[in-house]
């Protein structure tokens, strides 16, 4: 009987020992796994971010004229990656310095732009031009400021950037040189003519023309094969600006604010878009439609523009046209 009890006691002790061994092994396995995961995540967080390139930024470099280049964005709006450029940028190389136009929406993209300039020329960048205040054209300004580059814009661009860009741009950096009239800057022997236009962004729009190359940078006065952003603008003034540009620059190669390189036909296409929108708005007025009825019945982009990007802006276009044309008293 005693022998049997001792046997049972031994078996129980052996089972407890096995349980402790299993528990110890499980603990060791868990510990090793935690350490391994920690080392993996540390390695992941310590690894450098992928290098930004023109390709990953959705940009194509194109020579528009001798020493004049466009960085052309291909994305739809809004982009899925913050380091994919939304707007087009420009580069004009003079005999002694360089002008950069619209350094995109953030510092990494602006630095990519400056690096692209360095590959094209050893001349320094003297100026950065903001064609208007919107964040996708001015968010890269801090990179210019850090390099001591003068930033040019048109009044009231400083106030607008500081008051209106905070939501999209955590560090609005307004221009240090503000123009109140048409002007020229010189890059050695190369002249860049800066001309005021109206209708898109509340009095901050400028176009830049390189006369010896016949290249025009329009900023967002021209959206080419894109639904335009007009909620911040004035449709009638915008139409007048397009007509002026068509007459003033009939032979220019044009880099729009958004879309592919074009010429006066691109200006004419956007003008037709506004004419069509105005006709719609006058129809709504004749039929005494409410804004809600308009948005319900006309939400689909017309067939003539179904291939355009930025389709998500179309409803806003309807609302603006209703406000400015349908409800107009004259």
pLDDT tens figures, 97-106: 999 999 999 9
Q: Please give the pLDDT value at position 49.
A: 56
Bridge partners, 187 (sequence order) = 190
Intra-chain end-to-end CA distance of the chain, in Å = 115
Bridge partners, 192 (sequence order) = 185
Return the CA Rg of the chain: 30
pLDDT reading at 26 higher than 60: no
Calpha distance 173→162 (Å, rounded): 8
Other C-beta atoms closer than 10 Å to the C-beta of 183 total 15
Q: Among candidates 81, 153, 84, 142, which has minimal Cα distance to 111?
A: 142
For 59-264, CATH gives 3.60.15.10
Find the DSSP H helices in 92-154: 107-120, 135-138, 141-146
Question: pLDDT band at residue 33, thresholds of 50, 70 and 90?
Answer: very low
DSSP class of 262: B
Region 322-330: what's the mean pLDDT?
A: 93
Q: Please give the pLDDT value at position 174.
A: 98
Calpha distance 317→263 (Å, rounded): 24
Bridge partners, 190 (sequence order) = 187
Q: Please give the pLDDT value at position 318.
A: 98
Domain segments of the chain: what residues?
A: 1-47, 59-264, 277-326
Calpha distance 120→66 (Å, rounded): 12
Calpha distance 106→233 (Å, rounded): 24
Listed in sequence order, the residues at least 6 apart from 211 whose beta carbon sits closer than 8 Å to its beta carbon are 191, 193
Q: Which two tokens stand for residue 227?
A: 């639904």
pLDDT reading at 312 higher than 50: yes
Q: Please give the pLDDT value at position 122.
A: 98
Omega of the bond prior to 78 within 30 degrees of 0, cis?
yes
3-class secondary structure, 254: strand
Q: Please give the pLDDT value at position 22.
A: 35
Listed in sequence order, the residues at least 6 apart from 330 whose beta carbon sits closer than 8 Å to its beta carbon are none
Phi then psi for residue 180, to 5 deg, are -115, 0
Q: Which two tokens stand for residue 1?
A: 């009987």
DSSP class of 303: G
pTM of the predicted model as reported, rounded to 2 decimal places? 0.85
**HSE of 86, CA atoms in CB hemisphere, 13 A:** 22
- Asked if residues 221 and 30 have their Cβ atoms less than 8 Å apart, the reply is no
Region 242-251: what's the mean pLDDT?
A: 98
Report the share of the chain in percent with pLDDT over 90: 81
pLDDT reading at 48 higher than 80: no
pLDDT reading at 181 higher than 60: yes
Calpha distance 308→220 (Å, rounded): 15
CB-neighbour burial class of residue 24 (10 A; exposed 0-12, middle 13-18, buried 19+): exposed
Pairing mode, if any, of strands 98-101 and 253-258? unpaired
How confident is the prediction for the chain on average, in pLDDT? 88
Q: Please give the pLDDT value at position 27.
A: 35
Residues in the chain: 330
pLDDT reading at 41 higher than 90: no
Q: Please give the pLDDT value at position 25.
A: 35
Region 5-20: what's the mean pLDDT?
A: 40
Region 141-151: what's the mean pLDDT?
A: 98
Q: Please give the pLDDT value at position 294.
A: 98
């Amino acid at each position: 009987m005693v022998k049997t009890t001792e046997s049972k006691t031994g078996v129980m002790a052996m089972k407890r020992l096995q349980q402790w061994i299993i528990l110890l092994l499980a603990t060791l396995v868990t510990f090793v796994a935690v350490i391994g995961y920690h080392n993996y995540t540390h390695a992941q967080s310590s690894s450098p971010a992928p290098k930004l390139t023109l390709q990953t930024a959705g940009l194509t470099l194109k020579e528009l004229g001798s020493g004049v280049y466009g960085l052309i964005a291909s994305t739809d709006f809004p982009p899925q990656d913050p380091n994919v450029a939304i707007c087009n940028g420009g580069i004009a190389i003079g005999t002694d310095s360089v002008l950069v136009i619209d350094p995109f929406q953030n510092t990494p993209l602006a630095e990519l732009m400056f690096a692209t300039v360095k590959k094209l020329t050893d001349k320094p960048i003297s100026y950065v031009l903001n064609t208007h205040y919107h964040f996708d054209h001015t968010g890269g300004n801090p990179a210019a400021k850090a390099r001591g580059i003068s930033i040019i814009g048109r009044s009231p661009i400083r106030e607008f950037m500081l008051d209106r860009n905070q939501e999209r741009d955590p560090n609005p950096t307004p221009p240090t040189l503000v123009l109140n009239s048409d002007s020229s800057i010189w890059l050695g022997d190369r002249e860049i003519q800066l001309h005021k236009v109206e209708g898109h962004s509340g009095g901050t729009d400028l176009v830049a023309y390189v006369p010896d190359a016949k290249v025009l940078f329009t900023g967002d006065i021209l959206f080419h094969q894109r639904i335009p952003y007009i909620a911040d603008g004035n449709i009638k003034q915008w139409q007048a600006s397009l007509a002026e540009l068509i007459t003033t620059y009939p032979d220019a190669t044009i880099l729009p604010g958004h879309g592919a390189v074009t010429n006066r036909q691109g200006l004419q296409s956007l003008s037709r878009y506004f004419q069509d929108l105005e006709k719609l708005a006058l129809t709504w007025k004749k039929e005494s439609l409410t804004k809600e009825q308009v948005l319900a019945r006309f939400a689909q982009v017309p067939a003539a523009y179904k291939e355009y990007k930025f389709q998500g802006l179309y409803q806003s276009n309807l609302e603006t046209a209703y406000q400015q044309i349908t409800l107009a008293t004259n």
